[in-house]
Chain A
Amino acid sequence: MAEAIQLRSVTKAYQRAGESLRVLDELDLTMAGGTFYALMGPSGSGKTTLLNLVGGLDHADSGAVLVGDVDLTRLDGGELAAWRAGNVGFVFQGFNLLPVLTARENVELPLQLTPLSRRQRRAQAERALQLVGLGDRMDHKPRELSGGQEQRVAIARAIATDPQVILADEPTGDLDRTTADAVLQLLQRLNRELGKTILMVTHDPQAAGYADKIIHLDKGKLGRIETNPGRG
Chain B
Amino acid sequence: MPWKLLWRNVVGHPVRSLLTVGAVAVAVFLVCVLNAVTSGLTRTLDAAAANRLLVQSAVSLFVDLPLSYQQKMASVPGIEAICKWQWFGGRYEQDKGGFFAQFGIDPETFLPSYPEMKITKGSYDDFKKLRTACVVGDELADKYGWQVGQTVPISGTIFQRTDGRPWEFTVAAIYRSSSPAVDNQTLWFQFDYLRESLEQGGATGPLGVGVYMLRMAPGTDPVAVQQAVDAMFENGPQRVQTTTEAEFNRQFISMLGDVPTLLQMIGGAVLFAIFFAVLNTMLMAGRERTRDLGVMKALGFTDRATGMLLVAESLLLCGLGAAAGIGVGLLAEAPFAVATASFLPGFGFDEGTLLLGAAIAVGVGLVAGVLPGRRAARLTAIAALREVG
Q: Which residues of A contact B (CB under 8 A)?
A: 52, 55, 57-58, 77-78, 81-86, 90, 92, 94, 96, 98-101, 105, 109-110, 112-113, 157
Are A109 and B385 within 8 A (Cβ)? no
Contact of B301 among A81, A86, A99, A100 (CB under 8 A): A81
Are A109 and B296 within 8 A (Cβ)? yes
Contact of B381 among A57, A83, A99, A112 (CB under 8 A): A57
Are A84 and B300 within 8 A (Cβ)? yes
Residue of A nearest to B4 (CB): A105
Are B300 and A101 within 8 A (Cβ)? no
Are A98 and B385 within 8 A (Cβ)? no
CB of B53 to closest CB in A, whole Å: 67
* Closest 7 A/B residue pairs (Cβ): A85-B300, A100-B8, A100-B12, A84-B300, A110-B299, A81-B302, A96-B295
Are A113 and B298 within 8 A (Cβ)? no
Residues of B within 8 A of A100 (CB): 5, 8-9, 12
Residues of A within 8 A of B299 (CB): 84-85, 90, 109-110, 113, 157
- B259 interface residue (CB < 8 Å to A): no
Assembly CA distance A101 to B12 (angstroms): 9
Assembly CA distance A81 to B294 (angstroms): 12
Assembly CA distance A52 to B298 (angstroms): 10
CB of B389 to closest CB in A, whole Å: 8
Residue of B nearest to A157 (CB): B299
Assembly CA distance A82 to B302 (angstroms): 8
Assembly CA distance A70 to B22 (angstroms): 51
Assembly CA distance A213 to B57 (angstroms): 105
Assembly CA distance A90 to B298 (angstroms): 7
13 contacts between A and B (CB under 8 A): A57-B297, A58-B382, A81-B300, A83-B300, A85-B301, A86-B300, A92-B295, A96-B291, A96-B294, A98-B5, A98-B296, A105-B5, A112-B2
With contact pairs A81-B297, A84-B299, A113-B301 given, residues A92 and B385 touching in the complex (Cβ less than 8 Å): yes
- B138 interface residue (CB < 8 Å to A): no
Assembly CA distance A86 to B298 (angstroms): 11
Residue of A nearest to B3 (CB): A112
Within 8 A of A (CB), among B164-216: none
- B245 interface residue (CB < 8 Å to A): no
Are A101 and B298 within 8 A (Cβ)? no
Residues of B within 8 A of A110 (CB): 299-300
Are A55 and B298 within 8 A (Cβ)? yes
Given contacts A52-B382, A58-B380, A110-B299, 14 further A-B contacts (CB under 8 A): A57-B298, A77-B302, A81-B301, A82-B302, A83-B300, A92-B385, A94-B389, A100-B5, A100-B8, A101-B5, A109-B2, A109-B296, A109-B299, A157-B299
- B303 interface residue (CB < 8 Å to A): yes
Residues of B within 8 A of A85 (CB): 299-301
Are A78 and B300 within 8 A (Cβ)? no
- B292 interface residue (CB < 8 Å to A): yes
Bin the interface of chain B by size. Answer: 20 to 34
Assembly CA distance A158 to B298 (angstroms): 10
Residue of B nearest to A52 (CB): B382
What 1/0 mask marks residues of chain B from 353 to 389 whose CB sits below 8 Å from any chain A CB? 0000000000000000000000000001110010001
Are A82 and B382 within 8 A (Cβ)? no
Are A96 and B385 within 8 A (Cβ)? yes
Within 8 A of A (CB), among B1-53: 2, 4-5, 8-9, 12
Assembly CA distance A4 to B5 (angstroms): 34
With contact pairs A58-B382, A100-B12 given, residues A82 and B303 touching in the complex (Cβ less than 8 Å): no
CB of B385 to closest CB in A, whole Å: 7
Residue of A nearest to B302 (CB): A81
Residue of A nearest to B297 (CB): A81
Assembly CA distance A4 to B8 (angstroms): 39
Residues of B within 8 A of A109 (CB): 2, 5, 296, 299
Residues of A within 8 A of B12 (CB): 99-100
Residues of B within 8 A of A55 (CB): 298
Residue of A nearest to B6 (CB): A100
Residues of A within 8 A of B302 (CB): 77-78, 81-82
Assembly CA distance A83 to B302 (angstroms): 11
Contact of B300 among A96, A99, A105, A113 (CB under 8 A): A113
Assembly CA distance A58 to B384 (angstroms): 13
Assembly CA distance A57 to B12 (angstroms): 29
Residues of B within 8 A of A105 (CB): 4-5, 8
Residue of B nearest to A49 (CB): B382
Assembly CA distance A74 to B151 (angstroms): 93
Question: Interface centre among B292, B300, B301, by most A CB within 10 Å?
Answer: B300
Residue of A nearest to B12 (CB): A100
Are B381 and A101 within 8 A (Cβ)? no
Residues of A within 8 A of B385 (CB): 92, 96
Are B300 and A82 within 8 A (Cβ)? yes
Assembly CA distance A102 to B69 (angstroms): 85
What 1/0 mask marks residues of chain B from 42 to 73 whose CB sits below 8 Å from any chain A CB? 00000000000000000000000000000000
CB of B189 to closest CB in A, whole Å: 68
Residues of A within 8 A of B382 (CB): 52, 57-58
Residues of A within 8 A of B295 (CB): 92, 96, 98
Residues of A within 8 A of B301 (CB): 81, 85, 113
Residue of A nearest to B294 (CB): A96
Residues of A within 8 A of B380 (CB): 57-58
Assembly CA distance A86 to B291 (angstroms): 21
Residue of B nearest to A110 (CB): B299
Residues of A within 8 A of B381 (CB): 57
